[in-house]
Amino acid sequence: MITDFSSWRNRQYQKQTGPKMILDDDEVLSGPLPENLSQNYNYAFRRDDWFLGRQLKHGETAAVWLVRYLQPKSGRWVGQVHERFESPLQVEYLKWPRIIHKRKITISQFIDRLNYYSGLRAGEISRFSLFELLVYPPVKFMKNYFWHLGFLDGLPGLIMAFMMSLHSFWVRVKVYEKTR
């Protein structure tokens, strides 16, 4: 299993000889790339997130933009988990096509992934904070479910808001366990 997503992506990226579209295994493009993409930019795409058979139009996963069309040798991936591409090249944001992210997993499999990713994220944090443990998870739920209108996505929106809050809780508990 991958434990450092940036390192893995950087190894793949270094082999790149021309511009390349980067997609995860559970992602597809909603249509063809525009033909007139410039070599002077990296390109970001909006991601449409699907969960439990429904597109989430609200919450933290609904308005994600990802830099995924990359010019060769123009930057590097950073962050062990939830990695992002950093580059001195300017980023152009394309409204179309979009990245379609359809998770075809059960709730149990999703919980397993959250457990795995929370362990990776906890490894990036060096100090425990009781304040963060008590405050971040409920605030994250309220932000996703109420502020970002996750309740409009029905039961999948509620489950996603709860799971993201649970992830935040697990990260801090694992940091506590690691630092005590």
What pLDDT digit, counting tens, does each position of 158-175 carry? 999 999 999 999 999 999
Q: What is the CA radius of gyration of the chain?
A: 18
Q: Helix axis angle, 154-179 relative to 130-142, nearest 10°?
A: 170
- The predicted structure's pLDDT at residue 48: 96
88 contacts 74 by C-beta, under 8 angstroms:
yes
Statement: residue 106 has pLDDT above 80 = yes
Give the pLDDT of residue 148: 96
Determine phi and psi for 66, rounding to 5 degrees: -125, 130
Model confidence at 108: pLDDT above 90? yes
Q: Count Cα neighbours of 131 within 13 Å in the Cβ-side half-sphere.
A: 1
Q: Report the pLDDT averaged over residues 45-58.
A: 95
What does the pLDDT read at residue 3? 73
Spatial separation of the C-alpha atoms in residues 164 and 180, rounded to whole Å: 25
Statement: residue 119 has pLDDT above 90: yes
Q: Strand, helix or coil at 102?
A: strand
The whole-number average pLDDT for the span 24-53 is 94
- The pTM of this model reads 0.86
CA atoms within 13 A on the CB side of 96: 4
pLDDT category of residue 8 using cuts at 50, 70 and 90: confident
pLDDT at residue 129, rounded to an integer: 96
Confidence at residue 7, expressed as pLDDT on a 0 to 100 scale: 84
pLDDT at 55 over 80: yes
* pLDDT value, residue 91: 97
Whether residue 106 contacts residue 99, with contact meaning beta carbons closer than 8 Å, is answered with: no
- Record the tokens describing residue 9, joined without a space: 């992506």
Q: Does residue 4 register a pLDDT over 80?
A: no
CB contact at 8 A, 72 and 66: no
- At residue 47, the 3 state secondary structure works out as strand
Mean pLDDT of all residues belonging to the chain: 93
| Element (DSSP H or E) covering residue 158 | helix 154-179
Q: What are phi and psi of 120, to 5 degrees?
A: -65, -45
